[in-house]
């Protein structure tokens, strides 16, 4: 997801299978924490095929991440400075995500506030993705421009759940999710949008 910081009108990415979102109440006080959004560098949302919000992400300063989460990340993936941090809301649960470059590749780890690992997204070179995954992408989207790498999504026990890749097709950007066997599971289109967050009067 692209990240464009702005104080009042944050650039966000809406990820969804459907564009028919009118009347679904996508952005309202039920889904957006206005106080937290005021201090966020960026907001990002994901919606499902029925237009329901399933994930809200706030990009935050790494100093706002609980110490237990930082300690868990450092044990799991020791390295240099963090490259990013997010606060995420998924349903009624909240998580913190920390990013770091390890051996030249990006690692994004999602934790509960007590430091329990929920899932991880690991950047991998294309040749490390299963052949079936690469073949499906090539066969289904032969004219798309793809980056040189994929991402493997793993659960808290380290098991690969799916592979993801972002493609550019014409002037549109899509994010694909594929099973380890190469089956295309989900497709999101990334849309730029604008959110206006209320702030105190100067």
Which DSSP state fits 77? Answer: S
Distance separating alpha carbons of residues 16 and 49, to the nearest angstrom? 6
- Beta-carbon contacts of 75 under 8 Å, excluding residues fewer than 6 positions away, are none
Report the predicted TM-score, pTM, of the whole model to 2 decimal places.
Answer: 0.80
- Smallest CA-to-CA distance from 181 within 127, 124, 136, 121 is with 136
Here the tokens at position 55 are 């994930």
Contact 183, 11 (CB under 8 A): no
The model's pLDDT over 130-167, given as tens digits with 9 standing for 90+, comes to 999 999 999 999 999 988 899 999 999 999 999 999 99
Calculate ∠ Cα 158-160-162, nearest 5°: 145
- Beta-carbon contacts of 90 under 8 Å, excluding residues fewer than 6 positions away, are 54, 55
Q: Where are the alpha helices (DSSP H) in 25-152?
A: 34-39, 67-76, 131-140
Distance separating alpha carbons of residues 121 and 197, to the nearest angstrom? 29
- On average, the pLDDT of the chain sits at 84
Say what the pLDDT of residue 43 is. Answer: 87
Assess whether pLDDT exceeds 70 at residue 3: no
Distance separating alpha carbons of residues 26 and 167, to the nearest angstrom? 25
What is the pLDDT confidence band of residue 31, given thresholds at 50, 70 and 90? low
The model's pLDDT over 56-113, given as tens digits with 9 standing for 90+, comes to 999 999 999 999 999 999 999 999 899 999 999 998 899 999 999 999 999 999 999 9
Architecture of the CATH domain 9-18+25-196: Roll (3.10)
Say what the pLDDT of residue 16 is. Answer: 34
Q: Burial of 191 by CB count in 10 Å (0-12 exposed, 13-18 middle, 19+ buried)?
A: middle
Say what the pLDDT of residue 64 is. Answer: 93
The answer to which of 9-18, 146-155, 177-186, 187-196 has the lowest mean pLDDT is 9-18
Say what the pLDDT of residue 29 is. Answer: 35
Q: Looking at per-residue confidence, does 4 or 192 come out higher? A: 192
Q: Taking residues 117-140, report their average pLDDT.
A: 96
């Amino acid at each position: 997801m692209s990240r464009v910081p702005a104080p009042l009108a944050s650039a966000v990415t809406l990820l969804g299978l459907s564009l028919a979102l009118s009347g679904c109440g996508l952005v309202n006080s039920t889904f957006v924490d206005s106080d937290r959004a005021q201090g966020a560098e960026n907001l990002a949302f994901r919606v499902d095929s029925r237009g329901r919000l399933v994930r809200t992400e706030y990009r935050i300063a790494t100093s706002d991440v609980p110490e237990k989460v930082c300690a868990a990340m450092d044990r799991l993936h020791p390295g240099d400075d963090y490259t990013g941090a997010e606060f995420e809301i998924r349903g009624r649960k909240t998580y913190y995500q920390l990013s770091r470059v390890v051996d030249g590749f990006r690692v994004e780890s999602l934790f509960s506030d007590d430091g329990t690992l929920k899932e991880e997204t690991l950047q991998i070179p294309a040749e490390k993705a299963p052949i079936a995954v690469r073949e499906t992408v090539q066969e289904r989207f032969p004219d798309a421009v793809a980056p040189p790498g994929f991402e493997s999504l793993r659960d808290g026990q380290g098991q690969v759940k799916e592979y993801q890749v972002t493609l550019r097709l014409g002037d549109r950007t899509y994010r694909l999710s594929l099973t380890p066997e190469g089956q295309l599971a989900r497709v999101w289109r990334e849309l730029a949008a604008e959110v206006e967050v209320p702030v105190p009067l100067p």
